Structure 1
Amino acid sequence: MEIVRIDDSFSRWDELLALILSSFAYMDGVIDPPSSAQRLTLASLAQKAKDEMGFVALADGRIVGCMFLKPEDKSLYVGKLAVAPGAQGKGLGRKLLDVAEDVAKALQLPALRLETRIELVGNHTTFSRWGFFKSAEKSHQGFNRKTFIEMRKDLA
């Protein structure tokens, strides 16, 4: 297993998009509004990798995980953290977050930040186990109820 940063030579956008869509598929019909992953295209994913720092996890040459990182004023935002359904529960998500912590420390950012949907209680539990805490509840535009929570992990 190796985790590598997406660079200008990366060309496996179709495989990366398929990974994200398959790992987020369990949310279909569970969360409202639907995941922004459903709006991703090959072009928007490539643009995301230019605008942010993308990483892929490889096992036997296959993409089995990914995440995108975006520096903010006081934290490093972790987005589109995805692990292939067949690779879940084996520590890969934790390994990706270890890389995020290393990047945050290198950028001298004191925390990681992520968002997860209010309905995905299992995600809240997993991220809490990994040292994250709920820092806010927020709503998507147009909703009069809370639709997601923000979670943070302070780094020493």
Structure 2
Amino acid sequence: MTPQTVNAYYNPPNNQITFPAAILQPPYFDPKADAPVNYGAIEAIIGREVGHGFDDQGSQFSASGKFEHWWTPESRTTFTQRAVALSKRYDAYEPIPGVHVKGALTLGENIGDFGGVETAYSAYRKYQAEHGKGQAIGGLTGDQRFFLAYAQAWQAKLREGAARAVVD
């Protein structure tokens, strides 16, 4: 990717995460924003990419990038059970009437999203414990600003046809 590309990715064979420079600008990162906003946006994206190292695809690669089974059988069984449950949860989502998400096909991205926001929120809560909760800004608590920043970082607008192509 070029430096001006707004994106990020995880490359399992290299055990590498890439963040081009362009993603380090609003709404993903803003040095003038308060902590909840940056934790909810860029930290969730960083956590998401790290999490891809442990999703349904990334977890099949070792730290050295080898395609090998490195988890214990018990860990893999637990992971698989939870992954099936998450897939079924997404199967129930119907973003367009009559069109359901195919949870098994979106599993890696769904794991990345959940892992990213959980990692970021946990880090933000630790920040709060060390620095205090801070004041409400614009009538919104830090927690509310965290989740609004997360939503703003991922917002997109698609025509129905494009949305169908992504989901179908």
* TM-score normalized with structure 2 length: 0.27
Q: Which has the higher strand share?
A: 1
The higher-RCO structure (CA 8 Å, 6+ apart) is 2
Pick the structure with greater CA Rg.
2
